[in-house]
Amino acid sequence: MASKLFKHVLGTIELLEGTNYATWKRQCGRVLKGIKAWKIVLGEEQPPNNPIGFAAAAVAERSVYNDYCTRHDQASAIISGSCCKDVQIKIEAIDDPAEMWTAIAREMDETSTLVGQMTLLRKFHALSTWEPLKPYPMPNSKIRGGRQVPVEAGLLPPTGGQESARGNR
């Protein structure tokens, strides 16, 4: 079945469903960065003052405030619009994009819960084709008695018994 998409001028986002949180987070983050709302979503940018009056400084500050409000509202719309209906229901009462992002992460991010971490670990082990390493002879060494021993100047080190006697002659 083909994935449902949320299309924005700055990118396409695969709708967030139960199993594609990592992909959605990456794609949605790119669009949010594109509209310069990423810091709002992370909670790092707070709303500026909304001044009253018609002085030049107040008009300029109001312009900054209006720009922030536009990016804030667009971020909320992008986050909500890029979720499937089941996820939208869980965030419909939230207007703040930072709160939406956190609520979605808390619910969907497998890496943030113990159950999710164990699930990821099981998936990883199921994919693993791990086999124990077999001894591999290194240059200037020989395998003797199941162990790798170095060879110096073409001679094996003594192992006791007759070989020790030969080495001492």
Domain check: are 140 and 121 in the same one?
no
Domain check: are 61 and 141 in the same one?
no
The domain in which residue 154 lies consists of 134-169
Domain check: are 113 and 141 in the same one?
no
Domain check: are 21 and 91 in the same one?
yes
Domain check: are 53 and 82 in the same one?
yes
Domain check: are 139 and 58 in the same one?
no
Domain check: are 49 and 91 in the same one?
yes
Domain check: are 73 and 151 in the same one?
no
Which residues of the chain fall below pLDDT 50? 1, 161-169
pLDDT (0 to 100) of residue 163 = 45
How many structural domains does the chain have?
A: 2
pLDDT (0 to 100) of residue 12 = 94
Domain check: are 72 and 12 in the same one?
yes
Residue 119 to residue 113: CA distance in whole angstroms: 10
pLDDT (0 to 100) of residue 157 = 53
Domain check: are 110 and 161 in the same one?
no
Report the run of H or E that residue 142 belongs to, with start and end. strand 141-144
pLDDT (0 to 100) of residue 15 = 95
Domain check: are 96 and 159 in the same one?
no
> How does DSSP assign 60-117, residue by residue?
HHHHHHHHHHHHHHHHHHHHHHTB-HHHHHHHTT---HHHHHHHHHHHH-GGGSHHHH
Q: Model confidence over 55-84: pLDDT tens digits?
A: 888 888 999 999 999 999 999 999 999 999
